Amino acid sequence: MTATFDVINPATEQVVDSVRLVTAEETDAAIARAAKAFPAWRAVAPGDRARLLRRFADAVDADLENLARLEVLNAGHTIGNARWEAGNVRDVLHYYAAAPERLTGRQIPVPGGVDLTFAEPLGVVGVIVPWNFPMPIASWGFAPALAAGNTVVLKPAELTPLTAVRLAELAHQAGIPEDVFQVLPGKGSVVGQRFVTHPLVRKVVFTGSTEVGKQIMAGCADQVKRVTLELGGKNANIVFADADLEKAAAAAPYGVFDNAGQDCCARSRILVQKSVYDRFMELLEPAVLGVVVGDPGDEKTEMGPLISHGHRAKVRSYLPEGAPIAFQGKAPDGPGYWFPPTVVTPSGVRDPLAADEIFGPIVAVLPFADEADAIAMANDTDYGLSASIWTRDVGRALRVSRAVEAGNLSVNSHSSVRYWTPFGGFKQSGLGRELGPDALAAFTETKNVFIDTEG
């Protein structure tokens, strides 16, 4: 008997598709095929590999509206965001399509011979993807991995398999061999675990919760398997008294409520200098109440539903009777896993509302006294993914950027993701970097060869 999984539209609670779950045995067979396909794939001439990736990018571009609509249906993303996400896959593919011809080694002078350093592909790479950004996060793994000459097995989240399945079809139509890029919808505990334990998978790229990331890292230790981890965040949005407060307040909702707060980079802790706290809250309230929540397929919608019934229950559990809610926007009643944008004022940074990655549309606002206090509060967390700093003082912007223990800082902005710059976390937010030139190093192994020329 084959198990299937009902794919649900989180905006309507309707079943939209049914996907067959890949078993452990099928995963092993897929990994074996990927390993068998590796020597031929790494031997493809760099220019030809580049051409295949560009054709894949073009196929994504031609299918962009369809991919975006699928994500609206499966993940409840707003149509505007979903189009950006499909476009990001195309751009990431184009960016890494430039890599095969430029992935060069080095020649280092040595006495008595010639010394060569090669950037070798690893073999089979296993990519494990979460449900919050199914398309971009998949491509941040598969595009550089394929460009560097690896073969890829990819597991989408059980809740959101549809776009990954479509991306594999597009890759194969573009001429990338089926065994070189395989998408395996299934359970983390089955398919994902085989990526960790199977000796022919040489690297695991995981994005998801810190809790599961720790298990993956521990599992990989057994074979000293390479691992890249992109985990959670509880990111500070630091607003200094000298900032353009109107701009900071207007941008704050987007910084946290985008994708209904289901974003590892969500700026879910707003730290505001005491002297402007009241004024900032006055400005923030209408901005939050103005967030348009509803049908994600509607072009005007700014925030869609949460991903699932279970996830909404988890988010809701953070707001028991008497929770310190400052103000709350509106959301539809249902059906659909709706939750209103909510601003809370917990007592301190270690309050669960200010410390836990809630992964929903709840933002904590906390006052700070001075710059040192702001830095201490921003760093008083196990996470370290991203942060924003709002100030007009250039010196302060740089001082605070250097002092905050996070991988991605933005000044007077919440922008964290550009496909050509590195992305990743400090501390328990992850290990390694994705995107930009850094990701290529994460998909290659350095080999050094010495040739004696003295006879």
Which spans of this chain sit near ligand NAP (rule: CB under 6 A)? 128-132, 155, 157-158, 187-189, 192-193, 207-209, 212, 215-216, 230-232, 264, 357, 359
Nearer to ligand NAP, 359 or 390 (CB): 359
Nearer to ligand NAP, 41 or 383 (CB): 383
**Phi-psi region for residue 334, left (φ > 0), alpha (ψ -120 to 50) or beta?**
left
CA dihedral 265, 136, 398, 412 (to 10 degrees): -70
CA-based angle 316:318:323, to the nearest 5? Answer: 110
Smallest separation, CB 210 to ligand NAP (Å):
7
Amino acid identity at 366: L
Nearer to ligand NAP, 193 or 379 (CB): 193
For residues 161 and 171, what is the distance between their CA atoms, to the nearest angstrom? 16
Nearer to ligand NAP, 311 or 396 (CB): 311
Smallest separation, CB 311 to ligand NAP (Å):
6
Element (H, E) at 310: helix 309-316
For this structure, is 321 an active site residue?
Answer: no
Smallest separation, CB 184 to ligand NAP (Å):
11
* Closest to 324 in 3D by CA, of 362, 356, 289: 362
DSSP state of 303: B
CA dihedral 75, 80, 85, 87 (to 10 degrees): 140
Smallest separation, CB 430 to ligand NAP (Å):
8
Smallest separation, CB 445 to ligand NAP (Å):
23
Tokens of 67: 């991919």
Smallest separation, CB 440 to ligand NAP (Å):
22
The answer to whether the beta carbons of residues 160 and 75 sit under 8 Å apart is: yes
Smallest separation, CB 45 to ligand NAP (Å):
34
DSSP state of 140: H
Nearer to ligand NAP, 273 or 381 (CB): 381
Element (H, E) at 425: none
The active-site residue, picked from 230, 302, 357, 434, is 230
Q: Which residue's Cβ lies closest to ligand NAP?
A: 188
CA-based angle 302:304:305, to the nearest 5? Answer: 155
The answer to whether the beta carbons of residues 163 and 41 sit under 8 Å apart is: no
Q: Which residue, chain included where needed, has tokens 């000796």?
A: 199
CA-based angle 274:280:285, to the nearest 5? Answer: 135
Strands (E) in 35-138, as ranges, are 106-107, 113-121, 124-128
Question: Where does residue 189 rank: exposed (0-12), middle (13-18), buried (19+ CB within 10 A)?
Answer: exposed
Nearer to ligand NAP, 268 or 391 (CB): 268
Nearer to ligand NAP, 55 or 155 (CB): 155
Nearer to ligand NAP, 9 or 428 (CB): 428
Q: Which residue, chain included where needed, has tokens 């476009």?
A: 87
Smallest separation, CB 61 to ligand NAP (Å):
25
Tokens of 355: 């410390």
CB neighbour burial string for 299-311, b if at least 16 within 10 angstroms, e if fewer: eebbbbbbbbeeb
Positions annotated as catalytic residues are 230
